[in-house]
Amino acid sequence: MNIGDKVRFLTETGGGVVKGFKGKDTVIVEADDGFDIPMPITGVVVVGNTDALNFERRPTKPAPTPATPAHPATPATPASPVPPVNPAPATAPAPAVVQEFAGHDTLNVHLAFLPVDIKAISTTVMEAWLVNDSNYFVTYAWASIGSGSLTMFDQGTLEPNSVVFLREFSRDMYEQLEHVSFQLFAWKQGKPYRRKPVIDAELRIETVKFFKLHTFRETPFFEDPALLYDIVRDDRPTRPVAIPRDELAEALSSGKKAADSPASPRKSRFFGSKPDASAPVEVDLHIEELLETTAGMTNKDILDYQIETFRRVLRENQNRHGQRIVFIHGKGDGVLRAALKSELERKTDHYSFQDASFQRYGFGAMLVIVK
């Protein structure tokens, strides 16, 4: 191999003309774009045709052997040495090819919980997974929110249109999940993209749902049923519902039913059937359990509907002495629980109440007994 030979790279695409040598093992190749590239001699091959579509190897020209002169001669002027060539700066690796899907350029990220053994739902360990249903890379930080501070769970980067396992939670760790924070930064690699705002989302995880089989449902992301929480839905972060105290007071003083809205009630396993007074009746007041959709409803409309549902259940059971009713209100910010307690304190002649079983419901339910 000599200066001026045309060579092709064996370990990557491209080639060029030999411009010089560096040491015994490195050849300097001038590429087609004019840059000098240092390559191992074993990583190039001399070619006989510059047409990239018809590379043919030609025999390597042997290095000339100096002849012994027959007669002494005047020493020739030594050739100027080839100046050393500084190696070209290393280039960054090419970005990974990422498969994108039509309609996935809005940011949708979910937190999913899956029981390890769904047949032992009351004692099994719960797996937490992060779902990225978008064409963006998502760098995330997940933390538990305590009294004025955060405790980090996990941080990392999630690839587009993928899921990642976060960690497991045993039953004695559920309290850490009641109020959590997600901070997300979305980006794309190696291509132009629309900038997304940095996401700072908070979630209230109703861990009482971990003990109920019906809360785990089929999703497009897992083979097994999962409980899914939206962190970001169509570029909008999730935040806990906060109802101002003046709206709460107005809702409590008002006897009217929830305002008409396009929402339609779900079928209840309690309404329309006569319960057995020996067994408590469960009424889940989470709005997603009461209504198919809350489209068009304000926070006050939602609270009104929950309170009216509570009142209706009490009216339907007011003559069933000894009937026990468990109202699942969730922990949340305590607004709904305060509303129920205020209602019952005005009706102590007809009802007694207390927190429901902590072992089964945590802090998220109230037991009412009809007198």
- pLDDT reported for residue 178: 86
- pLDDT reported for residue 164: 92
More confident residue, 60 or 244: 244
- pLDDT reported for residue 231: 93
More confident residue, 87 or 141: 141
Considering the chain, what percentage of its residues have pLDDT values greater than 70? 75
Please check the confidence at residue 95 and state whether its pLDDT lies above 50: yes
- pLDDT reported for residue 91: 56
Nearest-CA neighbor of 196 among 270, 291, 107, 112?
107
Residue with tokens 């309170």: 307
Mean pLDDT of the 55-81 span: 45
Mean pLDDT of the 138-146 span: 93
- pLDDT reported for residue 110: 95
pTM listed for this prediction: 0.45
More confident residue, 230 or 20: 230
Please check the confidence at residue 1 and state whether its pLDDT lies above 60: yes
- pLDDT reported for residue 364: 83
Nearest-CA neighbor of 337 among 314, 360, 367, 358?
367
**How far is the C-alpha of 246 from the C-alpha of 168, rounded, in Å?**
40
Q: Order across the sheet with 162-169: list the strands.
A: 162-169, 126-132, 109-115, 227-233, 236-237
Nearest-CA neighbor of 230 among 199, 185, 274?
199
Q: Which two tokens stand for residue 81?
A: 């040495």
Residue 54, Cβ neighbours under 10 Å: how many? 9
Taking each helix axis from N to C end, the angle separating 299-317 and 245-253, rounded to the nearest 10 degrees, works out to 30
Considering the chain, what percentage of its residues have pLDDT values greater than 90? 24
Q: Quick check: 141 and 112 in contact, CB under 8 A? A: no
Out of 10-24, 177-191, 317-331, pick the least confident.
10-24
Confidence class for position 147, pLDDT limits 50, 70, 90: confident
More confident residue, 88 or 142: 142
Nearest-CA neighbor of 364 among 175, 231, 129, 114?
175
- pLDDT reported for residue 97: 63
Confidence class for position 238, pLDDT limits 50, 70, 90: confident
- pLDDT reported for residue 37: 80
The DSSP bridge partners found for residue 291 are: 265
Nearest-CA neighbor of 243 among 326, 362, 329?
329
- pLDDT reported for residue 288: 84
Model confidence pLDDT, tens digit, residues 281-302: 889 998 888 887 777 788 888 8
The DSSP bridge partners found for residue 129 are: 112, 165
Confidence class for position 78, pLDDT limits 50, 70, 90: low
- pLDDT reported for residue 156: 94
More confident residue, 311 or 76: 311
**How far is the C-alpha of 20 from the C-alpha of 3, rounded, in Å?**
6
**3-class secondary structure, 184:** strand
More confident residue, 105 or 72: 105
Please check the confidence at residue 264 and state whether its pLDDT lies above 80: no
Confidence class for position 31, pLDDT limits 50, 70, 90: confident
Confidence class for position 85, pLDDT limits 50, 70, 90: low
- pLDDT reported for residue 55: 35
Model confidence pLDDT, tens digit, residues 149-174: 899 999 999 999 999 999 999 988 98
**3-class secondary structure, 159:** coil
